[in-house]
Structure 1
Amino acid sequence: MRQAYKVWSGIAAGVFCLVAATDLSGRGVTPPAGTVASSSSLPASSSTAPAAPAVAGSSAGGGSTSARVVEVIDGDTFRLASGDEVRVLGIDSCEAATPGGRRATDAARARLLTAPVTLAAQPGVDRDRYGRMLRYVSAGGGDFASAMVAMDHTSIYTGGRNDASPTVQATLRRIDTNGRTCGTTTTAPTTTRRTATPSPDADRPRSALPAAPRTPTREPAAARSGGGYYANCSAARAAGAAPLLRGQAGYRAALDRDSDGVACE
């Protein structure tokens, strides 16, 4: 009898332990210190991969727009299909009429005319005093200004206030290791402005305009009348009037080549 009681008591205790263990596992009890939780109980990671480096234009903040370039004026200026003229922030290419300027213009055409470009504004900066849009430019998947200053026809802008952000300027300065080599302007500008507005890029070298031809001084009508006017020194000598002294009838500056006051010596 006593032995049967012990057997049934052992069976009851085993059933109780089994039920208790099942209940505890359903409640998600925290494992005691010193134990390792299974990987299925760890929370999912919320970390993300670092973003790709931003180009110079996007680092300045503000939105960006896509646009199509229809004309490249020089290495740092171009015109959009909308009619707006854009000046690239932060850089200064050689004048278009110089050898370096022609290289810069060709490089800009190769990058800007093949596909739409992305324009980004510097906060607080919109247009210069000539009405040109001041923008950072991305073309062909890269920063246009960075690509241009790496070559010898373009450098960082130093001709006045540079409206690019300090961060962009520092980046361009690191890339611009060779400055710019423009060469000599080969032809004088063939166009003139309608107003007296100064050049949009006054810092660039400009070729001097050719000197206006001197117009010979016309003799007074009184000096040409009668026998007091000689077409040339041969006529004066034939008339027996040579040499002619300043103040005499027939003397004129055109006949006095050395301007010593004596003509047809």
Structure 2
Amino acid sequence: MAQDISGPARAADGDSLDLSGISVRLYGIDAPELAQSCQRNSSTWMCGKEAQGRLASLIAGRQVVCDQKDVDDYGRIVAACRAGTTDLGGAMIDAGLAVALPHFSDRYIGAEARARTARLGLWAGSFQTPAEYRAANPRPRPRAINAPRVNSPTHLPSPSGVFFRNCKEAWAVGAAPLRRGQPGYRSEMDGDGDGIACEPYRGR
């Protein structure tokens, strides 16, 4: 069931919070990964760390209130969060330090367009979208506290003829997320076309 949670929070990265031990993913946005770098004025800058720093400054010393929208496949709450009257997702988009996810929510599309026009943050130079960066730099999937355990990939069926009717089946055997070229990957299951099907964050 959806819930509202509140309390002091820590910025895990530019779009994730640790809210008194509860992992929360901000709804409708995607910020650079913590280790991600971007280009600006012909030089490299650590856009992932800057995004985390901006989110940290928005919540510093303030009570954070989150309205749950979903739970992702890692067991993390996906929520629209605010600190006081500040919409944290909107503030990150306004600063140009996150991109909107229109396939999950249209609430930040206009704000992203304004940040892009003003060449703020990421839009001042060039960058990989966070989804592109994750596809190019895969890492082991994190396991959230109390997340259901899935079978090890070593127990997957033979790669020959692997077929999943949907993402639920892929997750059930521990195969997801599926990357382009891997057994079982189908473009029909890759909703945002980034080469990764059945990604863990699926908002409503």
Q: TM-score, normalised by structure 1?
A: 0.40
Aligned to 1:107: 54
Aligned to 2:29: 91
CA contact (8 A) 1:94 1:204 kept: no
| Structure 1 or 2: more strand by fraction | 2
Three-state SS of the structure 2 residue aligned to 1:115 is: coil
Aligned to 1:155: 99
Aligned to 2:166: none
Larger Rg: 1
Amino acid aligned to 2:31: S
Where do 4+ consecutive residues of structure 1 move more than 6 Å?
202-205
Q: Distance in 1 between matches of 2:193 and 2:11?
A: 20
**Is there any run of 5+ residues in structure 1 with no aligned partner, and where?**
1-61, 206-265
Q: Deviations over 1:15-47 (max 9, x none)?
A: xxxxxxxxxxxxxxxxxxxxxxxxxxxxxxxxx
Q: Deviations over 1:99-157 (max 9, x none)?
A: 221111000111124222011123xxx20112110111011421111111012221112
Counterparts of residues 164-175 of structure 1 (less than 5 Å): 164=105, 169-170=106-107, 172-175=108-111
Q: CA deviation at 1:198?
A: 4.1
Q: CA RMSD in A?
A: 3.4
CA contact (8 A) 1:111 1:140 kept: no
Sequence identity (%): 23
User: Which of 77, 95, 99 is the aligned partner of 1:133?
Assistant: 77
CA contact (8 A) 1:74 1:95 kept: yes
Q: Distance in 2 between matches of 1:127 and 1:75?
A: 19
Three-state SS of the structure 2 residue aligned to 1:102 is: helix
Three-state SS of the structure 2 residue aligned to 1:65 is: strand
Bigger relative contact order (CA 8 A; separation at least 6): 2
Q: Distance in 2 between matches of 1:104 and 1:77?
A: 11
**Is there any run of 5+ residues in structure 2 with no aligned partner, and where?**
37-45, 117-121, 143-151, 154-175, 179-191, 196-204
The count of residues paired between Structure 1 and Structure 2 equals 127
Q: Distance in 1 between matches of 2:88 and 2:75?
A: 21
